[in-house]
Homo-oligomer: A and B are copies of this chain.
Amino acid sequence: MTDPLVFFSPSGKRGRFPEGTSVLEAARRLGVDLDSICGGRGICGRCQVEVGEGSFPKLGIVSAPDHVTDWNAVEARYVSKRGPLDGARRLGCQAKLCADAVIDVPPDSQVHRQVVRKSAAVRDIEIDPIVQLHYVEVREPDMHDPASDFRRLQEALAHQWNVPDVTAPLSILRILQKTLRAGNWSVTVAVRKSREIVAIWPGLREAAHGLAVDIGSTTIAAHLCDLKTGEVVASAGVMNPQIRFGEDVMSRVSYVMMNPGGEAELTSAVRDALRELAASVAKEAGLATADILGMTVVANPIMHHLFLGVDPTELGGAPFALAVDGGLEIPAKEFGLDFAPNAYVYVLPCIAGHVGADTAGVVLSEGPYLKDEVTLLVDVGTNAEIVLGNRNKLLACSSPTGPAFEGGQIASGQRAAPGAIERVRIDRQTLEPRYKVIGSDLWSDEPGFAEATAGTGVTGICGSGIIEVIAEMLLAGLITPDGVVDGAMAARTPRIESDGRTFRYVIREGEPRIAIIQNDVRAVQLAKAALYAGARLLMDRYGVATVDRITLAGAFGSHIDVRHAMILGLVPDCDLDKVGSAGNAAGTGARIALLNAAARREIEEVVRGIEKVETAIEPSFQAHFVGAMAIPHKTDPFPHLEAALGLTFKRGSSEGEAREGRGGRERRRGRLAAE
């Protein structure tokens, strides 16, 4: 008689096994992805399967529930403790093959399940964290055998899980004996990289969590993830307390330069904030911080160094040498984090002195290196990090956009916060503006707007509003392609007013009065020209005249309207359907590195292969910058955009302004080059 044939769905793997082989054992031998923490003891319930019923002619199998052994005492005990199994499910470790069977492995019984992501442009995340839980039963000590408790635990992991020669730090060795005895010689062990114990609990433990962190100059965001499902179980963000040492990172570097030892204060500030943040998300999820088994971190180069406790002074001036750029694995306790006894922090690699682990996170999240299409990734802040390329090659640079896109150096500018104007439209005929403010969904000309904004007021204009108003002013003819607020338009609308030798456009009367002045337009021109020139420099280097996809990352990238951004000439022309926001892609990168061990080596290799371009010493950057001062551009064509808008841009000369702009840019570079 031949052995029973078993077919696993959805993997499609099949094989014959002797009668009495458990479904779990058959799955393991075939390499079918079927979970188990308890190792087949019927305790964890992770190996649930369904036995198919019916005839499967294509497979040559007739399957039925009684083609595996009947319910046994172990399953009865499981159900009495944990509640009934869904539908006709069985525990794979208990159901043993009697005859041919088709076995379905539901997604929640798979170890390496996929986390499906919203955007179709990016791949799903395969769950395969660097830390795995293993339940083991350890031999009791015996006078005849002097093997230590730790050696017998090692043996149990080797024999029961094929995880040999694990090591343990003092923090684990200290609690080992009590834990083994508390669990009556059954414990669950969290093992990192199949070689080092991270945590140990008495009895069976199924919960495993990790933290993905984005340390931004302004805010620190943390996402607590279930390492089994990939789900974010709690998120929180706090202001980066380093702000008291300087609004932008460069001023924090200045603080360190002026105050020897100041880096220790900055380091303590960010670590303290992170510790509180971790405690807060853990609490929200009903966990203790000691339940956190690992953390991943993205940050810009200066925040990266300050978090590590490395003096960032070298990043404050040429040649902007990083102390360290590779991915780092560091015990969490070195950061004062009271996570699991031997939890580690993984810090993603930095790309260059101006292009940090946050950009590496964006690259990991968006995966341009996996695609044929040439993608332009832009992360906009006071510095713009720009990555261009596809599976053949990736290039990266940073460009000093300055604070205009965050509302800085703009007369009525402010940070994005309730009360800030974030959307603007200007009627092409009446030249009257209407706008929306953060905190309300109403346009300013809709009924109820005043009531809706009574709480916040209308306090200023934030980055996305600035981009829109200037794009709208161009479309309405209120500014020239050279960026001059056109005084002649005062004849058509009282909102154009004289402002000394220049003119301004009044968006809102009242307190505060909100207007766009000539200098605001200049500041935005300088910022957008820097960004555009950086992108064009990379395109030259890559050898393409156009890009296939543009993705804007970061909080700012999420809020700007891509059409207005392109009208302004912030980014090159592209099919508008392929221009989009990736949201907090850096944070997503941290989350991927948390959930998938291989992603760490992957991003390290990708980053090592990225060709870095230093805009400050590239002669052609200057030429690109001059051309990009015009709105949308002095010479570059925008065919996709013009088609979408149904218009043709006028081209003007911007020589004068470009020269002026270059001077301003140089001044800022001195202050901001290292951000």
Contact = CB atoms under 8 A, between A and B. Distances in A.
Given A148-B350, A324-B149, A177 B143 contact: no
Contact of A144 (B145, B170, B310, B614): B614
Interface stretch (A315-323, A369-377, A409-417, A475-483): A315-323
18 contacts: A141-B314, A144-B617, A146-B322, A146-B353, A146-B355, A148-B321, A148-B323, A148-B326, A149-B321, A149-B323, A151-B325, A170-B309, A170-B310, A170-B330, A173-B308, A176-B324, A177-B311, A177-B314
A313 to B, nearest CB: 8
Contact of A150 (B142, B147, B170, B323): B323
Contacts of A169: 330, 334
Interface string A426-437: 000000000000
Contacts of A320: 141, 143, 146
A177 B330 contact: no
Contacts of A150: 322-326
B321 A151 contact: no
A360 interface: no
A143 B319 contact: yes
A616 B142 CA distance: 13
Contact of A311 (B142, B174, B318): B174
Question: 6 closest A-B pairs (Cβ-Cβ)?
Answer: A146-B352, A141-B321, A148-B322, A148-B325, A150-B324, A141-B319
A143 B614 CA distance: 7
A565 interface: no
A516 to B, nearest CB: 37
A522 interface: no
A334 B143 contact: no
A143 B617 contact: yes
B617 A323 contact: no
Given A169-B330, A173-B324, A323-B177, A146 B351 contact: yes
B617 A176 contact: no
A612 interface: yes
A310 B178 CA distance: 10
Residue from A142, A324, A352 with most neighbouring chain B CB atoms (10 Å):
A324
Contacts of A170: 308-310, 330, 334
Nearest to A267: B174
Interface in A56-73: none
Contact of A151 (B145, B326, B355): B326
B319 A142 contact: yes
Residue from A143, A150, A323 with most neighbouring chain B CB atoms (10 Å):
A323
B309 A149 contact: no
Interface in A348-376: 350-353, 355
A656 to B, nearest CB: 30
A384 B313 CA distance: 60
Interface of A: 141-151, 168-170, 173-174, 176-178, 308-311, 313-314, 318-326, 330, 334, 350-353, 355, 612, 614, 616-617
A146 B324 contact: no
Contacts of A350: 148
Contacts of A168: 324
Contacts of A147: 325
Contacts of A325: 146-148, 150-151
Contacts of A145: 612
Given A323-B150, A324-B148, A325-B146, A173 B617 contact: no
Contacts of A176: 323-324
Contact of A318 (B143, B148, B174, B612): B143
Nearest to A169: B330
A351 B147 CA distance: 9
Residue from A144, A174, A320, A355 with most neighbouring chain B CB atoms (10 Å):
A174
A74 to B, nearest CB: 30
Contacts of A321: 141, 148-149, 177
Contacts of A614: 143-144, 146
Nearest to A330: B170
A153 to B, nearest CB: 10
A146 B322 CA distance: 8
Given A177-B314, A322-B149, A323-B150, A143 B616 contact: yes
Nearest to A611: B146
A149 B330 CA distance: 19
A352 B330 CA distance: 33
A329 to B, nearest CB: 9
A174 B324 CA distance: 10
Contacts of A319: 141-143
A481 to B, nearest CB: 34
A138 to B, nearest CB: 11
Residue from A313, A321, A350 with most neighbouring chain B CB atoms (10 Å):
A321
A548 to B, nearest CB: 26
Contacts of A326: 148, 150-151
A141 B317 CA distance: 12
A148 B147 CA distance: 46
Contacts of A313: 177
Contacts of A351: 146
A353 B143 CA distance: 9
A81 to B, nearest CB: 31
